[in-house]
Each structure stands twice: as structure tokens, then as C-alpha cells.
Amino acid sequence: MRDLTDRALDTAAQLGATYADVRVIRRRDESIAVKSGRVEGVALGETDGFGVRVLVDGAWGFAASDTLDLAEADRVGALAVRVAKASATALRRPVELDGRPPATGTYETPIVEDPFKIPLETKISDLVAADRAAGAVTGVAFTESIYTGHREWKTFAATDGSFTEQVLTQVGTAVEANAIEGDEHQRRSYPDAGGGYQAAGYEYIRGLDLAGHAEQYAEEAVALLSAPQLPSGRRTIVLDPSMLYLQLHESCGHPTELDRVFGTEASYAGTSFLTPDKLEEGFRYGSDLVTIVADATAAGGLGTFGWDDEGVEAQAVPLVQNGRFVGYQSSRETAPRVGLRSSGGMRADGWNRIPLIRMTNVSMLPVPGMSLDEIVADTDDGLYLANNRSWSIDDRRLNFQFATEIAWEIKGGKKGKLYKNPTYTGITYEFWRSCDAVGDERSFVMLGTPNCGKGEPSQTARVGHAVPGARFRNVQVGVGKW
Amino acid sequence: MVSRANRLATPGVPPTRGGGSAVAASELARSVNARDPESALALAEEVLGRAVKIGATEAEVLVMAGDSALTRFANSEIHQNVVEHSLTVNLRYVVGKRIAVVSTGKVDTEGLRSLVNRAAAIARSCEELDDWAGLSAPANGATRAAISAWSDGSAEATPEFRAEGVRAVIAAADAVGVTAYGSFSTEAEAVAVANSAGIRAAENRTSAQLLTVHMSPDGGTGYAEGVSMDATTIDAAAIGREAATKARAGDRAVVVEPGDYPVVLEEYAVVDITDMLGYLGFSALAVQEGRSFVEPGRRIGSDLVTVIDDGGDREGLPMAFDYEGVVKQRVPLVEAGVCREVVYDSQTAARAGRRSTGHGLPAPNPWGPFPLNAVMSAGATPRDELIGGLDRGLLVTRFHYTNVVHPKLAIITGMTRDGTFLVEGGEIVGPVRNLRFTQSYLDALAGVSAVSSSRKTIKGFLGAAIVPALRIDAWTFTGVTEF
């Protein structure tokens, strides 16, 4: 592999690149889809290729190919330089990178059971058993269950002498029950809508015990059909980790990405209300209980690795400390502009995409004191919301609206009556400032999503979120006309 | 010289070819390129032959080979510039009713051997799909005139060509003191499908998209977009001027209270309606699973609303066949406000006892078929006169981050973005801060009171749509943001 990376880097340097890096990536994805008890799809995808990123005259160029040979390394290295020179014709601020020591070494996701060595028959039968258990519940219209295994072999080299090799392994699964009656379509998902995912082996899948939870979730989907619509009003809400992680993702993860702050995502995903002046002033983002970090070293996270795609070592950086905004997720190009070092957050969606600032594992730290169950017991009158169903937030990440699959009313510290079609809405910093209880270590779980979209051409990132569940006061719920 | 090939499913084409030699496979793989769809078809046939030879009772091979490039700009400078060449072979391998799908980008001799062997091994491990009805066969006599989906203007676009377009957009921004953020992308690909039931389909396609958000130092933002099969027909300067004008008009926006307002939606917003309704309702799988609002004959829109799916409309981004190689049919979805038909792929068509309409996605596809070429009929109202019908309402340029709140009622939430204006007495009186809406798109279609006589081609999340601007009697806004 080193001959190919050397060749691409040498070619780029000889043609004028002041800096170049190359990533050679091989990916393997296995998926199983079961629908209403039948195996609808078993798929295996493999892709490999390399991408060369260069700086010429202060401008970026990038080219990629799926042909791994030395002649192609020459062609792609030269093409990247040509592209960079075209970029330089519309350049106002030449790129400058922060310094870092050359990256060298290897990293491998720790796993117990290699998911690609588990017999396919075993994975299918585990999934079918869960799906059929959900489908056996009277009133379920259809069920869907998925399993995915993902492995990526990544070699990174740069003209500063960096050379790293990593093997990242991740798995995910879900069982979902759907109940339909008239205009109502209710859904319950375990462990999460779209799946629970971790950087782990098949032991994570076994530990979730899909089949053991399927019946309960299916019964809830059916029960929701006859539940009342959640009335509109301002309420106390307790967010289950299965909802809190996405709240965190959308309203803290994205607005603390420094490329968004500088406008490079403006035409697609948008910008951010967390401008650098708010970093200087220590903007009150949330209540004192709110502490949020981006931690690429967290066990099991989809954003856990050895080095990012610029060769910056994995690290944990604070974003919000006791409610104050204190840091960004950043890159070697953006961090120096606000007086910081790169947070190690540059990640690309495969060999054919350029790295962007992406979340690693953006997590809300637990607060000693109460478990999530104890927070419910501590709540006189409120709602318990679980499993996201819909999400939307404005292009500066202020006005959000989420829907969950289910809401339980909390009365006198106990969960009771169900409500269907729950929604809640607010303004990001007002919402986080209203947080008055955060779960402790006993409720702290690693979740994540494998499909965080950003960038043009579109990129999908696999990001982790560890969260403990939390309570928020005076939140608008029941949005719209029903 | 334009190089175009468009070979469609016709009876009588030999079903497979050989098992192929190792040398032939490597040569085939090297020859595949976006300009030559026959080279992609030859590779598909090679893989098909190998699959049948080792025991597949049915097989389908999809080959996609493409060159794509994108130049991205922000703060009125290019900050990202990428080009990519890729080739993917997707094999659906069937033994009886056991089905496996394997895809790869490794198309050398060993890669192809591994592809078919892995597929065979997976298929042996699968359970049977009891209602598997087999791969689609060519329709008897169902040929249609080949459409041209190719333009050298996009295929030959260079980094320098895209940079020139970007500079024109930036110049328009500079002229009024705003900054430009956007992208200019060009793409050329060859798509070929061969299956053991006799389908042979191959064509090459091009596309280009230039979009920009202009941002004013005084708070206004504006959006404009151009989409075409031919990049040279996109008027970058005009797109820059449209966004610049709107950005300046949006300066110093004021708050209007959420509530129900009549609205005029520009084409950039309307595409979200056609996409969402296509996604939620007009798929045969959604109907078969009981999660669609569509019932033939059900009225969901005013008389002014007609939407078809037409992969042959060259104003959009045409496609002659779907990813199962089935010729795309022109499917009426809504006629004068009344639901007519939905789109099918092979599996949903077999369940319904009919033929696919040519709307399949690459296998495996648990999501079902989708209309990827929505075309909404133009109306009789000149575009500039749509707001004339508003006593007090809002003009909306586009939506942002829309998502489904209630699927069967098609209730969607999202934000307005890049140009929202208060209209009184038929005149724009000023910009307003962006609003959140929570609105049934079905109710919105029922409230369409005017349709523009002109249309634009816009890329949405379900392909490219051709849509007019609309005036709608009531739209429910449920929140407001700070800008």
C-alpha cells in the first residue's frame, strides 16, 4: 500500500502541491432485512479506492479513483493538483493548516465476536426470531427488522511523513412493529428508530436481545392506535436516551461544527448561531447541569477511532461546560482561526469524499444524584418521551421540532397513560437552559446514528452519542392541528 | 460529437453470454466508461453469464459507471473542488426463491469471481422469499422511442468551466455587496442492466446543477438554482442575480406571528410537496402495506393540481429505464386533484398481478418503488401575478429540513429559508423572519387556488422534478425563529 500512497504524494508534490494527503480505503458492508417474518434482502457490498487531497497556492483540490495501481496514483495526484489550481482562481483567503506531529501507528476497534465470522444463518435466524415475535402480536400490520455489519480498512499518508493504518468495525440492529388503523399509523422500534449501533462485534447484537423485547414494543404500537392525541400546552418533559441523543445531535452537535460557523455548509445544511463571539463571552448555552463533550476515544462509539482523516489523534474536547459554551469541533484549517488546535473531527465518507468536520461521539455527561427512573419518580406532572420519529431544525440550529414514537404521562412520579403522535418544539438555548435534572451513570448509554448527512456531494457519517436521559421544564408540546 | 446509446429491453436478445474468460473480464472492466453504455452492458452480460454458469436460476446485473465533479464555494471563494470516477456492479443472484445481493467496485478477474461466488454462498444461506415472483422480463412489444439523456456539455465540463460559472455567481453577489455560498456539480454516467429473463438495457445520462445562497451583511439571504442535462445551458450569472436580488430584499426582516396565512410557494418549495407525497403515498409498496393515503379516485387536491411521473421529459433529467432494466412508463399520479395511479417495481407489481411501471431501485430494496421524475402541470397564471391574489399572506422561497410528523395525513414540519416576505394587497411589503410550519401537504394541495404558467426543474430528494409556483389558500405556521 505504501508504494501507492508514496506515488500519489510524490506526484502531487512534484506538480506543485505544498501539502498532500492520501487515504486508501476498503469497505465491507453486510445487511439483512426482514419484513413481516420474511427475509427480503441479504446484501454484501464492497468498495475500495483512494482519494488524494492537495493544497496548491493555498487552495484545495481533491480527486479519487477506484483503481488501485501506480499509474492511476499518478493520474489522480495530477488531477487533484489541476483541480486545486482551478480553485485558486476564485480564492480570497489562502488555506493555512495548524501544526501537528506526523501521525504514525495502527488502531483497531476492540471486538469480542467478529461479526463477519458469525455464520450468516445465525444472524438471519436471530433477526427472523425477533421479527416474528413482534409480528405475532395481534393488531400488528407489518414488521421490519434490520441487521448491519460494517468494516473499514483505512490507510492514511501525508507529505509530512504521516502513515497510519486503522480497522474500524461497527454493527447495528433493530426490530420495528407497525400498527395501522384508518388514518393512524403507529410505530415502535427497539432499541431505536433505525437501529441501535455501536463500534463493537456481534456481542453487542446478542446483548440487545431483540427477540426478548419485540413483543413489548409491538404491544405498545398497537396500544397507541387507541391512545388519545397529545394535547397542546407547556409541559415538563423527561427525554429517554433514545430521544435525547438526537436532540443533542441536532442542537449541539451540528452548531458546534466550526466549518458551519464559517459558512462552508451554508448552501446546504446551513450555518450556526454559535458564532465565535459567543465562544469569547462564554455564552450561556444550557443550565449548570449541562456538560457536553466530543469524545473520539469513547468505548463503543460510532465516532471512535485512532486518528481522524487529517491524521489528528483521537481526543475528547469540551463543547459545553456546566452550561457555558466553551469549544468547537474543528479541523486543522478552521481551528487556528479561533485560536484553537484541531479537535480531530475531520472525517470522510469513504475514499471518494473529502473530509469534513463531523461529529465523533458528542455526548452529554451524566450528573451524580438521580437515575432516570429516579428523575421520573421526582416528577409530579409531566411527560416521558421515547424514540424519535421525526426531526427538524432551522438552518442556524435554533428553532427545532421533534416527534417521538410514544409519550407516557407522568403523574405523582409514575408513568401511566399513553399519548399518540407526541411532538415538542423550542429554541435551542432556551430548551437546554430549562434542563433541571440529568441522569447519572446508571442511565448513561452509548447510542448513535449511521446516517448523519452533510456536505456536497452528500456524505453520510457514523456518529456516536452517549446520553443519560434528562428533564426539561415548560416545553411546548402538541404542535399543529390534529 | 455526441455519443449516445440507448438500448432498451426487447424480446429476442440472447439472454446470457458465455462464462467469460479471465482475460476477457479484465478487458471488459477496463473498457467501461460513462460515454459508452454498451461497455457497461457488456460487463453486465459477462457477470450474468458467470452467475448462471455457477448455478443461479435467475440473476440480474446492474452496472453503473460514472464521472462526477463538484466545485463548492463559500464566502465568495471556492473552498472545495472534487472529481471522482467510480464503477459499481450489483448482482442479484437467485436460487429458487432464495435471493442474495452482492455489490462491488472490484471488477478485475478476481473481483468478478469473488462477486458471484459470494452471492452464491449467501443465497444458499437464505430463507426462501415465499412470494418471490421472478425477475422482470421484457414487455412484448413494449419498446419506446429512445430518449436522449446525454449532453457533452455536462460530460466534458472541466474544473475550469465550473470555476468560470462560480465566478459569475460571485460577481453577481459582489455587485450588490453580498456573499455567495453554493456548488456547481456535473455528472456523467453509464447505466446498464442485464437479467436472465432477457432484459438488456443500457443508456448514458448526464446532469448538472448550480445552486447558490447569497447572504447579505444586513441579514437577508436569497436562493437560486439551475438544473439541466446540459451544463452549458445553465445561466450562472442569472442565477447569481436572482439570489442577490432576493438577499438584499430580505434585509432587516421583522417578526410576523405564527398562524394560518395564504401563501405563494416558489418552485424551490413546491418540489418538497411533490417529493414528500411521492415518498409517502405514490409507491405501490406504501399502498400494499396500508401506510399510503392514496386511493384511486380519492380527491386530494384542487382541480388545478395534476402530477405525473415521466422519465421521458427532457426538461427534467430523463431516464429510459429503472434499476431493474424495466422501461419507465408515464404514470399519472394526480389528475385534476384526483388520485389515479401509483408506481410499481417488479416485486410490488407481481403482488398486484400486473407489470412493473419501471420505478424500481437497485436491489435489495426494502423501501419499494418511487416516482423519481415528478412533473406538475403548469397553470394559467403568470408567475409574477400569483401574489396579486393575496390580501395578506406570505411569499415563501424555499423550505428547509422538512420531515414527516404524521405519514397518512401527510403532515410535515419544516422551516422557511432564504427569502420569506409579507404580502399585503397583492404587493410585497417586506421581509419576515423565518417561520416553522406544521402542515398537511394534502390539505395544501386541496387549497391550491392558482398555478403559475411557467415551471422550473429542481432537484429534490427524489430525483429531479418539474414544478410550477403555487398559490395556496391556507398554510399553518407554528413557530418563528430569530432570523
Whole-complex ipTM: 0.95
pLDDT above 70 (res B240): yes
pLDDT above 50 (res B8): no
Same structural domain, A206 and A284: no
Whether A259 is covered by a domain: the verdict is yes
Give the nearest partner residue to A46 out of B80, B104, B483, using CB atoms. Answer: B104
Extract the runs of DSSP E, i.e. beta strands, from B135-220. 179-195, 200-215
User: B22-31 vs B37-53: helix axis angle to the nearest 10?
Assistant: 150
How far A87 CA lies from chain B's nearest CA (Å)?
5
Average confidence (pLDDT) over B248-253: 97
- d(Cα A95, Cα A56) in Å, to the nearest integer? 9
Domain final position from A200, A225, A250: A225
Average confidence (pLDDT) over B243-248: 98
Q: Is B167 exposed, middle or buried (0-12, 13-18, 19+ CB in 10 A)?
A: buried
**C-beta of residue B169 within 8 angstroms of C-beta of residue B32:** no
Beta-strand relationship, B259-265 and B392-406: parallel
Whether A482 is covered by a domain: the verdict is no
SS3 B436: strand
The Cα angle at residue A273 between residues A272 and A274, in degrees rounded to 5: 90
Summarised one tens digit per residue, pLDDT across range A295-333 is 999 999 999 999 999 999 999 999 999 999 999 999 999
Number of domains in chain A: 2
| Amino acid code (one letter) for B163 | A
Same structural domain, A155 and A292: no
| Amino acid code (one letter) for B182 | G
SS3 B403: strand
Summarised one tens digit per residue, pLDDT across range B373-393 is 999 999 999 999 999 989 999
B166/A354 Cβ within 8 A? no
Summarised one tens digit per residue, pLDDT across range A28-55 is 999 999 999 999 888 899 999 999 999 9
- What integer pLDDT is reported at residue B142 of this predicted model? 45
Q: Could you tell me if A83 lies within 8 Å of chain B, comparing CB atoms? A: yes
| Amino acid code (one letter) for A7 | R
pLDDT above 60 (res B3): no
The three three-digit cell numbers of residue A107, written as one number: 488502531
User: B22-31 vs B109-125: helix axis angle to the nearest 10?
Assistant: 100
pLDDT above 50 (res A153): yes
To the nearest 5 percent, what fractions of chain B are helix, strand and coil? Answer: 25, 40, 35
Confidence of residue B29 (pLDDT cuts 50, 70, 90): confident
B71 φ, ψ (degrees, to nearest 5): -115, 120
How far A118 CA lies from chain B's nearest CA (Å)?
12
- d(Cα A168, Cα B311) in Å, to the nearest integer? 40
A180 φ, ψ (degrees, to nearest 5): -130, 135
**C-beta of residue A379 within 8 angstroms of C-beta of residue A319:** no
pLDDT above 90 (res A112): yes
Summarised one tens digit per residue, pLDDT across range B285-344 is 999 999 999 999 999 999 999 999 999 999 999 999 999 999 999 999 999 999 999 999
Pick the CATH number of B6-210 from 1.10.287.610, 3.30.2290.10, 3.30.2130.10, 3.40.50.2300: 3.30.2290.10
Whether A49 is covered by a domain: the verdict is yes
Nearest CA-CA partner of A200 in A115, A121, A316, A106 = A115
Within 189-248 of A, beta carbons closer than 8 Å to B belong to none
- d(Cα A50, Cα A63) in Å, to the nearest integer? 9
Q: Could you tell me if B73 lies within 8 Å of chain A, comparing CB atoms? A: yes
- What integer pLDDT is reported at residue B148 of this predicted model? 81
The 10 Å Cβ neighbour count of residue A473 is 17
Which one of A250, A388, A390, A394 would you mutate to disrupt binding with B, by most B Cβ within 10 Å of its Cβ?
A394
- What integer pLDDT is reported at residue B440 of this predicted model? 98
Same structural domain, A65 and A36: yes
- d(Cα B125, Cα B93) in Å, to the nearest integer? 12
- d(Cα B450, Cα B385) in Å, to the nearest integer? 10
Nearest CA-CA partner of B364 in A35, A385, A250 = A35
| Amino acid code (one letter) for B378 | A
Measure CA B349 to chain center.
Answer: 22
Which one of A87, A389, A427, A431 would you mutate to disrupt binding with B, by most B Cβ within 10 Å of its Cβ?
A87
Same structural domain, A408 and A280: yes
b/e A179-193 (16+ beta carbons within 10 angstroms → b):
bbeeebbbbbbbbbb
Which one of B43, B84, B408 would you mutate to disrupt binding with A, by most A Cβ within 10 Å of its Cβ?
B84
Residues of A in contact with B81 (CB under 8 A): 59-62, 83-84, 86-87
Lowest pLDDT segment from A144-153, A445-454, B5-14, B121-130:
B5-14
Q: Could you tell me if A119 lies within 8 Å of chain B, comparing CB atoms? A: yes
Write the CB contacts of A365 (distance below 8 Å, at least 6 apart in sequence): A291, A292, A293, A468
Residue reference for cell 446520553:
A467
Give the nearest partner residue to B167 out of A62, A90, A395, using CB atoms. Answer: A90
Sequence spans of domains, chain B: 6-210, 253-483
Write the CB contacts of B397 (distance below 8 Å, at least 6 apart in sequence): B222, B223, B246, B266, B268, B269, B416, B417, B418, B419, B420
Give the nearest partner residue to B122 out of A120, A128, A142, using CB atoms. Answer: A120
Residue reference for cell 433505525:
A194
SS3 B254: strand
Which one of B78, B161, B210 would you mutate to disrupt binding with A, by most A Cβ within 10 Å of its Cβ?
B78
In chain B, whose CA is at the least distance from the CA of A141? B289
Domain final position from A173, A208, A225: A225
Same structural domain, A219 and A243: no
Give the nearest partner residue to B102 out of A44, A59, A91, using CB atoms. Answer: A44
Nearest CA-CA partner of B60 in B20, B26, B108, B9 = B9
- d(Cα B316, Cα B311) in Å, to the nearest integer? 8
Confidence of residue A482 (pLDDT cuts 50, 70, 90): confident
Residues of A in contact with B417 (CB under 8 A): 270, 394-395
In chain A, whose CA is at the least distance from the CA of B437? A480
Confidence of residue B21 (pLDDT cuts 50, 70, 90): very low
**C-beta of residue B88 within 8 angstroms of C-beta of residue B63:** yes
Summarised one tens digit per residue, pLDDT across range B351-375 is 999 999 999 999 999 899 999 999 9
- d(Cα A25, Cα B468) in Å, to the nearest integer? 43
Confidence of residue B86 (pLDDT cuts 50, 70, 90): confident
B58 φ, ψ (degrees, to nearest 5): -145, 155
The three three-digit cell numbers of residue B201, written as one number: 438495457
Residues of A in contact with B104 (CB under 8 A): 45-47
B405/A180 Cβ within 8 A? no
The alpha carbon dihedral of B403, B389, B447, B266 has a sign of: negative
pLDDT above 60 (res B13): no
Helices (H), B72-151: 109-125
Residue reference for cell 430525483:
B463
Same structural domain, A282 and A316: yes
How far A222 CA lies from chain B's nearest CA (Å)?
15
How far B340 CA lies from chain A's nearest CA (Å)?
19
Confidence of residue B25 (pLDDT cuts 50, 70, 90): low
DSSP conformation class of B301:
S
SS3 B46: helix
pLDDT above 50 (res A254): yes
Look up the domain containing A167 and give its range: 2-225
Same structural domain, A267 and A364: yes
Summarised one tens digit per residue, pLDDT across range A264-305 is 999 998 999 999 999 999 999 999 999 999 999 999 999 999
Domain final position from A190, A225, A260: A225
Same structural domain, A185 and A281: no
pLDDT above 80 (res A116): yes
Average confidence (pLDDT) over A159-176: 98
B127/A64 Cβ within 8 A? no
Three-class secondary structure assignment of chain A: CHHHHHHHHHHHHHCCCCEEEEEEEEEEEEEEEEECCEEEEEEEEEEEEEEEEEEECCEEEEEEECCCCHHHHHHHHHHHHHHHHHHHHHCCCCCCCCCCCCCEEEEECCCCCCCCCCCHHHHHHHHHHHHHHHHCCCCCCEEEEEEEEEEEEEEEEECCCCEEEEEEEEEEEEEEEEEEECCEEEEEEECCCCCEEECCCHHHHHHHCHHHHHHHHHHHHHHHHCCCECCCEEEEEEECHHHHHHHHHHHHHCCCEHHHHCCCCCCCCCCCCCCHHHHHHCCECCCCCCCEEEECCCCCCCCCCCECCCCCECCEEEEEECCEECCCECCCCCHHHHCCCCCCCEECCCCCCCCEECCCEEEECCCCCECHHHHHHCCCEEEEEEEEEEEEECCCCCEEEEEEEEEEEEECCEEEEEEECCEEEEEHHHHHHCEEEEECHHHCEEEEEEEEEECCCCEEEEEEEEECCEEEEEEEECCCCC
- d(Cα A123, Cα A208) in Å, to the nearest integer? 13
The CATH number of residue A33's host domain is: 3.30.2290.10
Summarised one tens digit per residue, pLDDT across range A214-251 is 999 999 999 999 999 999 999 999 999 999 999 999 99
Same structural domain, A24 and A140: yes
Same structural domain, A355 and A243: yes
pLDDT above 70 (res A408): yes
- d(Cα B235, Cα B214) in Å, to the nearest integer? 16
The 10 Å Cβ neighbour count of residue A14 is 12
Whether A69 is covered by a domain: the verdict is yes
Same structural domain, A129 and A217: yes
- What integer pLDDT is reported at residue B83 of this predicted model? 85
Give the nearest partner residue to B181 out of A40, A48, A267, using CB atoms. Answer: A267
A266/B213 Cβ within 8 A? yes
Q: What does the mean pLDDT of chain B come to?
A: 92
Polymer length of chain B: 483
Whether A256 is covered by a domain: the verdict is yes
The 10 Å Cβ neighbour count of residue A266 is 27
Average confidence (pLDDT) over B20-31: 60
**C-beta of residue A202 within 8 angstroms of C-beta of residue A118:** yes
Residue reference for cell 433493530:
A174
pLDDT above 60 (res B7): no
Residues of B in contact with A59 (CB under 8 A): 78, 81
Average confidence (pLDDT) over B226-241: 98
**C-beta of residue A218 within 8 angstroms of C-beta of residue A134:** yes
| Integer angstrom CA distances of residue A73 from A1, A80, A480 | 11, 11, 55
Choice between A414 and B35, residue whose per-residue pLDDT is larger? A414
Q: Could you tell me if A114 lies within 8 Å of chain B, comparing CB atoms? A: no
A64/B74 Cβ within 8 A? no
- What integer pLDDT is reported at residue B31 of this predicted model? 80
Same structural domain, A161 and A255: no
Q: Could you tell me if B170 lies within 8 Å of chain A, comparing CB atoms? A: yes
In chain A, whose CA is at the least distance from the CA of B74? A264
**C-beta of residue A274 within 8 angstroms of C-beta of residue A308:** no
The CA R_g of chain B, rounded to the nearest whole Å, is: 24
Which one of B91, B478, B482 would you mutate to disrupt binding with A, by most A Cβ within 10 Å of its Cβ?
B478
SS3 B193: strand
- d(Cα A259, Cα A267) in Å, to the nearest integer? 12
Q: Could you tell me if A31 lies within 8 Å of chain B, comparing CB atoms? A: yes
- What integer pLDDT is reported at residue B24 of this predicted model? 57
Whether A469 is covered by a domain: the verdict is yes
Within 423-462 of B, beta carbons closer than 8 Å to A belong to 434, 436, 438-439
Summarised one tens digit per residue, pLDDT across range A346-373 is 999 999 999 999 999 999 999 999 999 9
Q: Could you tell me if B133 lies within 8 Å of chain A, comparing CB atoms? A: no
HSE (side-chain half, CA atoms, 13 Å) at B157 = 34
Q: What does the mean pLDDT of chain A come to?
A: 96
| Amino acid code (one letter) for B388 | G
